[in-house]
Structure 1
Amino acid sequence: MDIQIITGDITSLDVDAIVNAANPTLLGGGGVDGAIHRAAGPRLLQACRAIPEVSPGVRCPTREARITLGFDLPAQYVIHTVGPVWNGGGSREPDLLARCYRQSMTLAMEYDLASIAFPAISCGVYGYPPEQASRVAVRSLLDTPNGGPERVLICCFSDAMADIWRNALNDEA
């Protein structure tokens, strides 16, 4: 697996799937979630509404992932995953975040995808410290069994965030 760290707009990437740092409703929100919904067009919202709720208002619990088509995006699929809200690290946040990456990679394997792009899950409004999140994410991706996507991009919104992720990748590789 080739992991690359880039700075850019995840909605413009030509990969098989992009990962959405979603909220449990899957109905759009702020940050990367809102950007993906806007770029994919209204059919993405319709597809997300069609995903059954597992509890009132929850289509995807924290740590799990769901997949939809990408509609108006260059990516064929969107893998929606719900990262943990940072509460200081004592509420199983590292395990929950690692599961987001593992579940997303599992779906990518099930759909036989060759390329996938991740945002920095939970590092925006959910407040996960990027230095810690990047280490959890990189470890999780490197631990993915063979047979998953060969090309994995971590798409950061700024050069400063990309530097944090590059440091984590260099430390773990």
Structure 2
Amino acid sequence: MRLILVRHPQPLVAPGVCYGSSDLPAAPDDIERVHAELLASASIPSGTPLYSSPLQRCAVLAGRLGAHALDARLAEMDFGSWELRSWGDIPRAEVDAWAAGLVDYRPGGGENVLQVAARVAAFRADLLRRHGGQAPSPRAAAIICHAGTIRLLVALEAGLQAGLPLHDIALRAAAAPHKIAYGETVILEAVA
């Protein structure tokens, strides 16, 4: 099944601020840009089931694209007390502790990457169960979500095919460099 993964438009937040699960709006002009690009490219075929993180920077774009289902499992990681703080204001020792334990450390007392990986994996499994069968099931689904969610979905696909445990998949996703632009589309072929 083809997964059409779209990162949300640029949120209205100052540069250098930690914002995982904070429900920030997206910049209106960037919503327009991403919406126009998606329509012009026809990257989401008509009739494709559409899923979205419930955070407004995703849900508003999904609403512009049509009927969609919100799924909390697609939300970005919760950084706890780090949310909406400047990265420079977060004690260096805490950031270092996270870097030393990427998968299990809970930044700001929020979620750890393994917890996020488990909920994203559950979404993926449910999606493939629901839509991954033979006709008349759709052969694609579009997902409006976050860079972290996209990185996990990509790592899950490769890792599950290789028989890796979820912990190793989460580590691969967390260690992967972040190169997903606002509004970027990533195509993934998911196999049940």
Specify which structure has the higher proportion of helix: 2
TM over 0.5, shorter chain = no
TM-score of the two chains, using structure 1 as the length reference: 0.41
Q: Which structure has the bigger radius of gyration?
A: 2
TM-score of the two chains, using structure 2 as the length reference: 0.38
